[in-house]
Amino acid sequence: MRIVFDLDGTLVDSLPDIHAAASATLEDMGYLPLDRTTIRSCIGHGVEPWVVDIMRAAGASGARALWVEVFTRHYAGNGSLTRPFDGVVEALAALAPLAHFGLCTNKPYDLTLGVLEDLDLGPFQVVIGGDSLPQKKPHPAPLLAAAHALGDGPVLYVGDSEVDAATAKAAGIDFALFTGGYRKTPAEDLPHRLRFDSFRDLPALVQSIR
């Protein structure tokens, strides 16, 4: 079996670090910080769309590329607040004998590897970041590339958001929805095959569909 995971809001709670980097970026650019709820609502489409949303929310102007550069510098320099969600480490250990693991995220590839290394998460046989291909989620290409790299067999995509649900649907891949992440839409309104509130429940759910 092949299991591909999203990262932010799925395996890890990175919101504290993203919020801290956003606050530092806004301060550098001469704007007041935004609350955590606003920052959370913008996560999912990758760094550049996120920066556009943050600039809009702050009423900011300026070159988007500069904002991206400043945010990336702040974010890459401090990952001390990011943590795996409860049960993630145990779930990965339980599933490792049953499946090959991949990761498909809109976070840039280098930042993704930094998170995985800092938290010792994995092993992942393939990692597709937001800059690995010309397309980003919800385009199906990144997820299909990750699944293809893992070989043959049934495939499940595990994510937390509207973007993840749309990506899985576009790719024709079964979706497992983690309800403890960053989605804004009610869970019952997102297409999914499996739904779980705790990663401690995921191994048994995967076993049930193998």
Q: What percent of the chain has pLDDT over 90?
A: 90
Whether residue 164 lies in the annotated active site: no
Sign of CA dihedral 85, 87, 93, 96: negative
The answer on pLDDT for 192 being more than 90 is yes
**Is omega for the bond preceding 191 within 30 degrees of 0, making it cis?**
no
The count of structural domains within the chain is 2
Q: What is the pLDDT of residue 79?
A: 75
Mean pLDDT (whole number) for 4-16: 97
Q: What is the pLDDT of residue 210?
A: 76
Q: What is the pLDDT of residue 44?
A: 81
The answer on pLDDT for 180 being more than 80 is yes
Whether residue 71 sits in one domain with residue 137: no
Whether residue 200 sits in one domain with residue 125: yes
The answer on pLDDT for 86 being more than 80 is yes
Return the minimum-mean-pLDDT range out of 6-20, 34-48, 98-112, 163-177.
Answer: 34-48
Whether residue 201 sits in one domain with residue 120: yes
CA distances from 47 to 92, 93, 134, 199, 206 (A): 27, 30, 14, 26, 31
Whether residue 104 sits in one domain with residue 48: no
Tens of pLDDT, residue by residue over 157-176, are 999 999 999 999 999 999 99
Domain containing 175: what range? Answer: 2-13+83-209
Q: What percent of the chain has pLDDT over 70?
A: 100
Greater pLDDT, 50 or 203: 203
User: What pLDDT band is residue 76 in, cutting at 50, 70 and 90?
Assistant: confident
Q: Are strands 2-5 and 155-159 parallel, antiparallel or unpaired?
A: parallel
Average pLDDT of the chain is: 95
Nearest-angstrom CA–CA distance, 153 and 98: 12
Whether residue 58 sits in one domain with residue 134: no
Mean pLDDT (whole number) for 174-195: 97
Q: What is the pLDDT of residue 184?
A: 93
The answer on pLDDT for 154 being more than 90 is yes
Which of 6, 17, 160, 164 is labelled catalytic? 6
Which helix (H) or strand (E) segment holds residue 154: the answer is: none
Whether residue 202 sits in one domain with residue 107: yes
Whether residue 116 sits in one domain with residue 153: yes
